[in-house]
Amino acid sequence: MTDKGKLRELEKRIDEVLYYVWDPIGVSDEPCARAEYSSYTMTILKYVLKEDLIKITRHLTTIETDSMGLTANKERNEMVAQRLLDYKYAVEEGLK
C-alpha cells in the first residue's frame, strides 16, 4: 500500500479498533482516554501491512502481558488481528 491517504485511513482504523474493540484495560467508555492505545498503532500498522496475523496477535499479547501486566486474552487478540487485516483489505479496495 503506497497511497498516503489509504495509509492514513488504515492507521485511523487500527487506532479505533484498538480503542473500541481490543481495549484490554476497559477504557473505551471514557472520552478522556481516547488516545490510550495510540502509541501502539504504528508498530501494529507495520505488521498489518505485512499481513502477518501471527505477529499482530503476538504483539497485542505482549502489550497485554509485558506493558500492562495483564493476563493474555489470546482469543480476543487473534480476533482483533484478523479484524485489522480485514480493514486493510477494505481500505485497499476503497471500501468505507
pLDDT exceeds 80 at position 1: no
> Which tens digits make up the pLDDT trace of 58-73?
999 999 999 999 999 9
Report pLDDT for 96.
58
Report the mean per-residue pLDDT for the chain.
Answer: 96
Burial of 58 per CB tally in 10 Å (0-12, 13-18, 19+):
middle
User: What CA–CA distance (Å, rounded) separates 96 from 91?
Assistant: 7
User: What CA–CA distance (Å, rounded) separates 9 from 96?
Assistant: 10
pLDDT exceeds 80 at position 92: yes
Asked if 44 and 14 touch (Cβ cutoff 8 Å), the reply is yes
| 3-state secondary structure (DSSP) of residue 50 | coil
Please compute the mean of the pLDDT values over residues 84-92 and round it to a whole number.
Answer: 96
Please compute the mean of the pLDDT values over residues 32-58 and round it to a whole number.
Answer: 97
